[in-house]
Amino acid sequence: MPLHAIARRLVLLGLISSAAIAPTAHAWGFEGHRMVAALAEPLLSRPAAAEVQRLLALEPGASFSSIATWADEIRSPVSGPWHYVNFPQGDCHYEQPRDCPKGACVVEALPAQVALLKSDASDAERLVALKYVVHLVGDVHQPLHAGHGEDKGGNLFQVQLLGQGRNLHSLWDTGMIMNHAGGAAALREAVRAQLPGGPVPGQPLAAAQWAEESCRLVEVEGFYPASHKVDADYLDAHEATLKARLGQAALRLAALLNDALK
């Protein structure tokens, strides 16, 4: 079965069961996902931007940034695993039979959605695929969405941030962004300053590579705070990683769409 046909079937299954569960974590949080999209949009080529706007017109009021969180809003038992991939500790080399045996992980879901977006499917189906692509590119760049299954990508590792308890996954989803000096707006402008000023060349998808990068970040000493307490020193130590992953997600999302929507 062609990849885009598999993606079409999976999307349908995911939509049917979307009310079954609520998501426990949103990679980058709503603010982060929309930040990635907002940073990527000026980097789209003219043909890609025109096609994106044509598809968005099917949904009055939708924008490139607003669709970035849709995949979390309709997350289901079927589509939930598409948002992450688990690596064994100490081995960040992606092996599909081991790490994604049923193809239900971000490394396999993302190319399936890209294939659907590039196919001759209906515009309604391609809009759904676009929503998934925008979101999943953000997901795979959040380090703990390519972490370890033993602690469910940091969800089982409890930390304290400013005296409040949370898990490490949610810290990287939202806490790192919202506690950035100057807030999310200042972070967005700092990342924007690192990006090109206009459209970028189209580049093919490299989902496994991006996931492996995230996994290696998770394994850096100090990523998991030994004291389980997150202070200003932790935020400062990982600020460069936060900016880099948000910027890479934006740049690669634009380059991927510029390649897919020539």
pLDDT digits (tens, 9 = 90+) for 208-218: 999 999 999 99
Q: Give the structural domain span for 155.
A: 3-260
Check if the beta carbon of residue 76 is closer than 8 Å to that of residue 14.
yes
For residue 30 the two structure tokens come to: 């709503």
- pLDDT value for 39: 98
C-alpha count within 13 angstroms, C-beta hemisphere, residue 157: 23
C-alpha count within 13 angstroms, C-beta hemisphere, residue 234: 23
pLDDT in tens, 62-121: 999 999 999 999 999 999 999 999 999 999 999 999 999 999 999 999 999 999 999 999
pLDDT band at 43 (very low <50, low <70, confident <90, very high): very high
Tell me the CATH number at 236.
1.10.575.10
Q: Find residue 148's DSSP bridge partners.
A: 87
Q: How far apart are CA 110 and CA 134, in angstroms?
A: 9
Q: How many CB atoms lie within 10 A of CB 95?
A: 12
Contacts of 216 (CB under 8 A, 6+ apart): 92
Res 159 pLDDT > 50? yes
Check if the beta carbon of residue 32 is closer than 8 Å to that of residue 174.
yes
Q: Give the burial string for 97-114 (b: 16+ CB within 10 Å, else e).
A: eebbeeeebbbbbbbbbb
**Number of separate domains in the chain:** 1
Which stretches within 69-166 are classed as H helix? Answer: 70-73, 96-99, 106-118, 123-141
Mean pLDDT of the residues in the chain: 90
